[in-house]
Each structure stands twice: as C-alpha cells, then as structure tokens.
A and B are shown apart, each in its own frame.
Chain A
Amino acid sequence: RKEVEQDPGPFNVPEGATVAFNCTYSNSASQSFFWYRQDCRKEPKLLMSVYSSGNEDGRFTAQLNRASQYISLLIRDSKLSDSATYLCVGDQTGANNLFFGTGTRLTVIP
C-alpha cells in the first residue's frame, strides 16, 4: 500500500467551477502534509501546507481529517491558470523524508 494515494483524474471542469481533490494516507502517525502543484514539464512547487485546523489561501482551502486519514484541497472559482497536476504529500514516522502522491490532473476549460 502506498503512503499517500490520490485519484489520478483527469478532472475537467469549466472555468468558474469549484473542484475538490481528496488524498488518503496510510500512516496514522503522519504529522506534516502539503499540497504541491506541478505544471507540465516543470518541477513541483509548494501550493500550501495543510494544518490540523484547516487553512485557506485565497481561492484554495486545505483540510485534514485525521479520523478518516485523508486530506483535501478545494479550489473555488477555477481559473484557466489552475490547470496543472496537484500532488498530495505526507511524512512518515521514523523517516525524515516526505512521500509524494502520483498526482491529480486538473484541466480548467474555457
């Protein structure tokens, strides 16, 4: 079983729509979670950290559900520029590295 798993998509949504991604993690002791964004043929870049209380950054909201062991990313009012692959990231007890999901591909359609 992978440390973090996410639906690969693709998600094709119209401009202005709200879209949500979920990601499950296997280690109940994991503490650090992030969402990264990766544009085509570019490197992954941090989108936002995920805090226990949930956090919001403009049109983006991240949530952590420890009981069900998943994190989510909500994008409101989708823009064409939001088209990218979104990577779910978590840590593992006893290791100092992070584990990256395989990504969810989003395409925002005009």
Chain B
Amino acid sequence: DAGVIQSPRHEVTEMGQEVTLRCKPISGHDYLFWYRQTMMRGLELLIYFNNNVPIDDSGMPEDRFSAKMPNASFSTLKIQPSEPRDSAVYFCASSPVAKNIQYFGAGTRLSVL
C-alpha cells in the first residue's frame, strides 16, 4: 500500500480564497483524521470520521472550515474564505481501529497571504 496520500503538498493562496485539501486513506482503514500543526499549538485534531461518518468535529475552528468523506477512499478539508491565521501544515491520518496506531500522510503546507 502507498500509505496515506495527501494533495497538494504545498498551497499558497491569497486571503479570501477557497482552499481544498485532499486525502486518500490507507485501504481498509475505518478511521480518518484531519489535524493542523503549528509551532505555537502543536498538532491539533480538527475532525475525524468513522466509516465515512463524521464523529467529532469539535476541533474545527469555525464555520469557515468544513470536511467531507464521500466514500471510504477520499476525504476533503475545505477552508472558505481562507485567512492568514489558517497558515499551517495540515495532516491527514488513518487508522484501522479506534485508539490505535495512526498513519500520517506527508501533509499539506498551507500559506495564506
């Protein structure tokens, strides 16, 4: 398996633009997680899915953020409109079972100017 695949690897955009981050989890993994990492706050959980259903989105900072998982092999995290404070590295991770080892994608480095 190729592991968790994220795209794009880098994204530079202007304030106010819509940003869409993509993730393909490891096949057969029932859990998918979206994280945001900054120097100040470390790794923060934004939302996670179980069998394509959002379970906990309490970490989503505000209504500008939304996430979907239309099928078991694809998820998106959308920011609309984007703001400079959204600049961070966004990681997607998947896991076969709850509370177990999570496998991370390479991340998307987002810069909002």
Contact = CB atoms under 8 A, between A and B. Distances in A.
Interface string A16-41: 00000000000000011010000000
B88 interface: no
A96 B99 contact: yes
Contacts of B99: 31-32, 91, 96-98
Which label, helix, strand, loop or mixed, suits the secondary structure of the B interface? Answer: strand
Contacts of A31: 99
A97 B104 contact: no
A97 B43 contact: no
Interface residues of A, number: 20
Given A42-B106, A45-B104, A91-B99, A97 B48 contact: yes
B61 to A, nearest CB: 17
Contacts of A95: 56
Given A32-B99, A100-B42, A103-B42, A43 B105 contact: yes
A42 B43 CA distance: 13
Q: Could you say which of B31, B43, B102, B105 has the most chain A C-beta atoms within 10 Å of its C-beta?
A: B43
Contact of A102 (B33, B42, B48, B91): B42
A43 B55 contact: no
Given A87-B43, A97-B48, A102-B41, 18 more contacts: A31-B99, A32-B99, A43-B91, A43-B106, A44-B43, A44-B104, A49-B101, A95-B56, A96-B50, A96-B55, A96-B98, A97-B33, A97-B45, A97-B99, A99-B45, A101-B42, A102-B43, A103-B42
